[in-house]
Amino acid sequence: MQASYRSFPPRWKIEYINAFVESRIRYHRFRQLRFTQGHSAVARHRRGACWIDPGDTRPKLLAIVANERGAEEACSHMEIDQVGYPFSISETFQMRNTNTTIAGSFDRVQRIAELCAKSNKELVMYISMAFGNPYGDPWSPELVLLWAERLADGLNVRTIALADTVGNAYAVHMDALFRTVIPTFPEITFGAHLHARSDGLNEKTIAALEGGCRRFDTAIRGYGGCPMAEDDLVGNADTEAVVRCLDLFGFPHGLDMQELKRCVEISSRVFPG
C-alpha cells in the first residue's frame, strides 16, 4: 500500500495486515512515517495498528521513520515493536532520501536510538547502498564494516539490514559481504533488503542465503520499490519467489502457505494489474 497512489479504506488495510498475521510472517514493516510541516503520515495508519488481531502468532511490527518526529510517533504506540531507520553510506543517496548528510543522519539516529531505549523499542538499521554505489561516492566492504561497527558499538544496534537500494548489486558481492559481516559481528542479526528485477531476484536471494543471511524483507507480488532505481521493472523482493528459494535449498521458514496464498489473493484485489 505504501507504493500505491490509491486511497484505501481502513478495513482493507486491516484485512490485508491480519492475513499476514495468520501466515506467520515474523515481521510486518509499516510504511515510512515522515513528518513535514502540517502533515502527519502516521495519522492515516494509527487506527490500523491498533486493530491488528494480536492472536498467538502476531508478528513484530516495524515502523520505518525518517526523522525524530516520526520516531516519537512510532514510539508512542505500544503495538509497534521495532523502529527502523534508512541510513545510507552514500552521501548522495542519504541527501536524496532523508534530506541530510551522512554525519547529520548519524546524529539523527543517535537521538532516535535514545527515544527507542526510553520506549523499549528495538532500533533496526538499514544500510542502503551496502553492495555498491552508482553515484560515484566512495564504497567498499570495509566502509560497510566501519559503519556496522559504529552502529553496534555506539548505538547498541542488534539488527541491521543490508540494502540493495536501487537494484544494481551483483550477487557475488552480496555473497562476499554477508560472509564477511556475519562472522565479524556475531551479536548482530544481518538481513537483506533487496530490490531487483523479477529475472534477477533468485540469483540475489541464493547469494544472500549462501552468504549466511537468514532474514529477508519481502513484499507480496514484489509490489513497490525504490523510486530512485531509475528502472520501472525493479521492485521489492517478491515474497513467494523468496519462499520458493528457501524451499529449494531446504531452509525451513515455518510459514502457513495457505494463508500466504490468501495474502496474494487479497493483494490482487487491493492492487489490481
Please tell me the predicted confidence (pLDDT) of residue 56.
52
Grid cell digits, residue 55: 492472536
What is the rounded CA–CA span in Å between residue 163 and residue 169?
9
3-state helix, strand, coil in the chain (%, to 5): 45, 20, 35
Domain-wise residue ranges, the chain: 66-254
Please tell me the predicted confidence (pLDDT) of residue 4.
52
What is the rounded CA–CA span in Å between residue 49 and residue 60?
11
**Residues sharing a CB contact under 8 Å with residue 186, sequence separation 6 or more, in sequence order:** none
Name the 3-class secondary structure at 126.
Answer: strand
Please answer whether residues 253 and 246 qualify as being in contact, where contact means their C-beta atoms are separated by less than 8 angstroms.
Answer: yes
Going by C-alpha positions, the residue among 189, 192, 188, 158 that lies closest to residue 175 is 192
Please answer whether residues 160 and 125 qualify as being in contact, where contact means their C-beta atoms are separated by less than 8 angstroms.
Answer: yes
Please answer whether residues 81 and 60 qualify as being in contact, where contact means their C-beta atoms are separated by less than 8 angstroms.
Answer: yes
Please tell me the predicted confidence (pLDDT) of residue 19.
77
Residue 6 CB coordination number (10 Å) = 8
Q: Which CATH superfamily is domain 66-254 in?
A: Aldolase class I (3.20.20.70)
Grid cell digits, residue 82: 521495532
Please tell me the predicted confidence (pLDDT) of residue 47.
39
Please answer whether residues 185 and 215 qualify as being in contact, where contact means their C-beta atoms are separated by less than 8 angstroms.
Answer: no
Please tell me the predicted confidence (pLDDT) of residue 236.
85
Ranges in the chain, pLDDT < 50: 1-3, 5, 32-54, 229
Name the 3-class secondary structure at 84.
Answer: strand
What is the rounded CA–CA span in Å between residue 120 and residue 129?
29
Please tell me the predicted confidence (pLDDT) of residue 51.
42
Tell me the backbone φ, ψ of residue 39, rounded to 5 degrees: -140, 130
Q: What is the DSSP letter of 219?
A: B
Please tell me the predicted confidence (pLDDT) of residue 203.
94
**Chain mean position to CA 124:** 9
CA dist list (Å): 136 to 13, 50, 67, 174: 40, 43, 26, 19
